[in-house]
């Protein structure tokens, strides 16, 4: 076990193949302990998943950013066995994921997550956004879940998740 932040351990494991694992007591306001799995190929992040009781809660860039924000965690590194390494895996070009992972067109953000505004947006910029993005941003005060925002806007939680993704990627929104 290595008590270290994610960015630093990724630098230490440059050119390594394997898996990083840790447990997180609370993330994105999800109650209970979550398990984390980050798969590396040549030191680059191939996948990043946050699970609870075997169920995937967050994946991809959203999960990665959440873990970076947690600071120092107790990481366990499991080197890949030579037989488990595959030549067809292509690492993502940078040490952070560029695109969120999706599953059957639905984003893996927990409906219990609490979206929050990460930075202020001018009214001019806000006016250029699609309506669902604007309303999702304005309702994201950190006290409403994705599901509650969906109910207020009369849309499914999946639509709210899809609106959140580009906002999180731009650094305008975050999840608690």
Chain segment 76-126, per-residue pLDDT in tens: 998 876 544 443 343 333 333 333 443 333 446 888 888 998 888 888 888
Q: What is the pLDDT of residues 6-45, one digit of tens each?
A: 888 988 888 888 899 999 988 777 788 899 999 888 888 8
40 Cβ partners below 8 Å, 6+ apart?
A: 10, 13, 16, 17, 18, 19, 20, 46, 91
Handedness of CA 41, 46, 48, 52 (dihedral sign): negative
Predicted TM-score (pTM) of the model is 0.49
- Joined tokens for residue 49: 């998943």
């Amino acid at each position: 076990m290595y008590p270290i932040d994610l960015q630093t351990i990724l630098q230490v494991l440059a050119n390594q193949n394997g898996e990083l694992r840790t447990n997180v007591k609370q993330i994105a306001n999800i109650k209970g302990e979550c398990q984390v799995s980050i798969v590396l190929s040549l030191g680059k992040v191939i996948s990043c998943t946050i699970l609870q009781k075997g169920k995937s809660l967050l994946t991809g860039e959203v999960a990665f950013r959440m873990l970076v924000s947690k600071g120092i965690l107790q990481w366990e590194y499991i080197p890949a066995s030579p037989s488990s390494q595959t030549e067809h895996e292509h690492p993502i070009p940078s040490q952070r994921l560029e695109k969120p992972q999706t599953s059957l067109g639905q984003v893996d953000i927990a409906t219990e997550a609490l979206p929050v505004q990460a930075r202020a947006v001018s009214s001019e910029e806000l006016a250029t956004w699609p309506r669902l993005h604007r309303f999702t941003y304005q309702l994201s005060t950190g006290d409403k879940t994705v599901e509650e925002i969906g109910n207020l806007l009369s849309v499914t939680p999946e639509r709210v998740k899809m609106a959140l993704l580009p906002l999180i990627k731009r650094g305008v929104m975050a999840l608690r």
